[in-house]
Chain A
């Protein structure tokens, strides 16, 4: 499990971000004491650091530079300043990525995933599972009891969204929003067609508890 350290002085953001990242399967440490921040951070041996710029005691740029002297741990700078100059400065000090507040949480997740995969070759979400069904996000294949099938990009997105929300109804709008955020600009009709195709492929694998339609509400993997 990847360990993420949050260095952020706004309590609300710190706490909510922690809940959010834990929900997505990360181990999270949120530092609250800013006096010994360098020491505390390195002691935790994190896989990734989320670093705010405006901090008490010393600012994020300083911390970034000091961490770089001792460790190659990936750092994502998170700030409300959106100047190109701030971005440039962060990168020059050794940050791996730069995200401006308020961020889209899915984009934040995607960036974290990317960096973890690049730096450590690990990630929480290369394969996701639903009962006996396994979806491999890297090669787009789905396996069910040793049976294998290939999915299209749209089908992968739909299935992964439904698996992440298993047991909950996902409205068509939410499903489309998820896909749009992953660069697939499907329209209403397209979505229906894709869901039907996905359902047929899963049926072909012999999967019984397939995607269900709840009229007027959306889709659900029971």
Chain B
């Protein structure tokens, strides 16, 4: 707040005073008063007025400056009305009350949305668990009646399961802290489990797997990690070239991290897409060519990896293949081994 702005705000008041003074001045001139008396009256009139305006200006400037500095230091600006001192003057008090009211109303509003979101998330989780029962019985029925048709159904069931799993992890992705459990995870076991889950696709597409060089222990949540690796392997299968497909998985132990690399010799990703692959809903050139891309898989992987404190990077060359790296930081626990 500058003095100019403040005076501009008081224009009407000052203008009225001046006009009244000019009128008074005119009357005094008609009644033949001397210039000295007019000057004296001017001083008596305007000295208190200007003093008052100046004092008021400084008072308000101090008040608002304090308010602004509090606000700047606040992380969540809407908490201002909780932090600020209740002002003494009537305009300030009114403003304070209004702020508090709008704040309360906003909180209620936000809460209703939060409740709705939680409700929805809980519903999704329950739904996922419920749908697993018919899937389990379908799998058993298929197993008990093996033939070419049920084998095809089996393959489709596997895809359904993968999509269902994605839904579950998507709904959980904002609430990782609620249900994760950090423990020792053998990377070789984890990778082997994922490969076994996808064995049908690997075999029917003739993709060979080399995972001899996977070793080491990571400390993380096994379920979440398996989901991430499964999504990445799913991409390898989807974007592999016909025949001669090959995926190599290996780990490298550096001074303060373990890097798990999943490398394929698939179609690769063009340069202009590569920086956007982790964006939500981004499908890019390959998505258009292959279809069936939702642009959710890698986005979720990145999000979950961030929540788990893992690094996730991707490099690729068109026609040569793609490398995805998961970086596990080594803490003091790991370093002791």
Residue among B140, B179, B199, B200 making CB contact with A83, cutoff 8 Å: B179
The docked-state distance in angstroms from the alpha carbon of A23 to that of B192 is 28
Consensus secondary structure, chain B interface: helix
Complex contacts, B208 vs chain A, CB 8 Å = 185, 187
The docked-state distance in angstroms from the alpha carbon of A197 to that of B132 is 42
Assess whether B133 is in contact with A183, with CB atoms less than 8 Å apart.
no
Assess whether B181 is in contact with A180, with CB atoms less than 8 Å apart.
no
Complex contacts, A63 vs chain B, CB 8 Å = none
A38 within 8 A of B: no
Within 8 A of A (CB), among B192-235: 192, 195-197, 199-200, 202-204, 206, 208-209, 211, 221-223
With A80-B132, A103-B136, A180-B195 in contact, do A185 and B179 touch (Cβ < 8 Å)? no
Q: Number of B residues contacting the other chain (C-beta, 8 Å)?
A: 36
A189 CB to closest chain B CB (Å) equals 9
The tally of CB-CB contacts under 8 A between chains A and B is: 86
With A102-B136, A177-B200, A180-B203 in contact, do A185 and B195 touch (Cβ < 8 Å)? yes
Residue among B137, B192, B197, B221 making CB contact with A84, cutoff 8 Å: B221
A47 CB to closest chain B CB (Å) equals 21
- B 131-142 binary contact with A (CB < 8 Å = 1; else 0): 011111111110
B122 within 8 A of A: no
Residue among B134, B179, B203 making CB contact with A173, cutoff 8 Å: B203
Q: Number of A residues contacting the other chain (C-beta, 8 Å)?
A: 30
Assess whether B181 is in contact with A105, with CB atoms less than 8 Å apart.
no
- B 165-196 binary contact with A (CB < 8 Å = 1; else 0): 00000000000000111010000000010011
Stretch of A14-22, A25-33, A208-216 that contacts chain B? A14-22
Complex contacts, A88 vs chain B, CB 8 Å = 181
B159 within 8 A of A: no
A181 within 8 A of B: yes
B69 within 8 A of A: no
Assess whether A80 is in contact with B209, with CB atoms less than 8 Å apart.
no
A-B contact sample (12 more), CB < 8 A, given A13-B137, A80-B130, A102-B139:
A16-B140, A19-B144, A84-B183, A85-B181, A101-B135, A180-B196, A180-B199, A180-B202, A181-B196, A185-B209, A185-B211, A187-B206
